[in-house]
């Protein structure tokens, strides 16, 4: 599920050649994987190559890049794990 104004950015411009404008340089695309049951908050941006596990929460206004396991709360710029679900205690625990 997603809230309003969530962005999925799968395309990244390369900028290796300093003698060529960025818009004329090649770009590459990389997929984004979002696990089942994950909630993505308002204005979050998910960047190319990211993998978010199942049953996660992405906080509003976060910028996500990287791999995140199942059952965690992700937030910030850049996003990091804020909480994880502890299956023994059956509670969300701050990291």
Write down the catalytic residue from 13, 33, 55, 93.
13
13 is catalytic: yes
Tell me how far apart the alpha carbons of residues 92 and 28 are, in angstroms, rounded to a whole number.
Answer: 37
- Sign, CA dihedral 19-23-28-33, equals positive
Cβ atoms of residues 29 and 10 within 8 Å: yes
Q: Catalytic residues, which ones?
A: 13
């Amino acid at each position: 599920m997603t809230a309003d104004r969530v962005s999925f950015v799968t395309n990244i411009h390369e900028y290796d050649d300093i003698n060529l404008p960025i818009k004329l340089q090649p770009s590459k695309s990389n997929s984004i994987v979002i696990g089942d049951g994950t909630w993505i908050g308002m204005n979050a941006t998910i960047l190319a190559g990211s993998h978010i596990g199942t049953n996660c929460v992405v906080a509003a206004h976060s910028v996500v890049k990287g791999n995140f396991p199942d059952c965690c709360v992700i937030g910030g710029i850049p996003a990091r794990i804020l909480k994880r679900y502890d299956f023994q205690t059956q509670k969300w625990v701050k990291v």
